[in-house]
Amino acid sequence: MILTTQEGKKIDLSKGVDLSIPLSNDNKNPLAWYVKPPRFEPVMEDGWIGSVKDGGAVNFRNIFFNPHGHGTHTECLGHITPEIYSINEHLNQYFFQAVVISISPEVIEEDTVITPKQLESLKQYDSIEALIIRTLPNTKEKKSRNYSATNPPYIAIECLEIINTLNIKHLLIDLPSVDKETDGGELAFHHGFWEVPSSPRFDRTITEMIFVPEEAKDGAYLLNLQVAPFENDAAPSRPVIFPFI
């Protein structure tokens, strides 16, 4: 199916590129924030078992996971506010004009950081609804990496000037956080992006732990941001991008 936008751009809806990392109950699942791996367990009660291979009539499993630590997720400002605002309530639009950019974070002392000068190429756009950052090197190891206690790259707070100038509302990145892993709970970028507590931005989201395959070249796309309807500050999500043709 070919879709034509109001601007006359065409999109082949059969050519979507999925940026999410599947949730699994094995060592292939990525981990962050010191959480243990997800668990998929058949329900067992009063002699009944929710596993066909073990004699049950159906597979009927409980799943235990953490949206922030176990894979691709989208969060709203409720992640850092006393009241736990719901991503399900505050993300109510699902298609956005998006830009993919590849960045090799700079080594600054003991950290690796995405800096403002690395976002300079974005100034060719008047505005961007959703920014998708692919960090380099872009190895498939990202899909199963344990990020805990590794001090992953993060985004410098100074990048907010460009992000605000372009009116970026949705930020997607292939890292476990936009902030430094251990920063004493400051979460400077989260607070700055959502303007908490001074002027809370309910219209902005952050999506972390994506994977942008090599087939998706840098440039403009249509983004479909699909989020599981959890009444929580964050929920598992499935961002899918469509190239213009």
229: preceding bond cis by omega (within 30 degrees): no
Nearest alpha-carbon partner for 91 in 71, 76, 80: 76
* pLDDT higher than threshold 80 for residue 5: no
Average pLDDT of the segment spanning 47-70: 97
Question: Tell me, what's the pLDDT at 141?
Answer: 96
CA count, 13 A, side-chain hemisphere, 233: 11
Burial of 28 (0-12, 13-18, 19+ CB in 10 A): exposed
Domain 2-23+69-243 in CATH 3.20.20.140? The answer is no
Question: For the chain, what is the mean pLDDT?
Answer: 96
pLDDT single digits (tens) 113-140: 999 999 999 999 999 999 999 999 999 9
**With a threshold of 0.75, does the pTM exceed it?**
yes
The full length of the chain comes to 245
Q: Is the pLDDT of residue 4 over 90?
A: no
Q: How would residue 8 be classed by pLDDT, with cut points 50, 70 and 90?
A: confident
* pLDDT bracket for residue 3 (50, 70, 90): confident
Taking alpha carbons only, the member of 237, 192, 230 closest to residue 84 is 230
DSSP single-letter state for residue 110: T
User: By the 8 A CB rule, do 39 and 29 touch?
Assistant: no
State the DSSP code for 191: H
Per-residue pLDDT of 200-238, as tens digits, reads 999 999 999 999 999 999 999 999 999 999 999 999 999
Over residues 25-33, the mean pLDDT reads 95
Residue 105 is predicted with a pLDDT of 98
What pLDDT sits at residue 65?
98
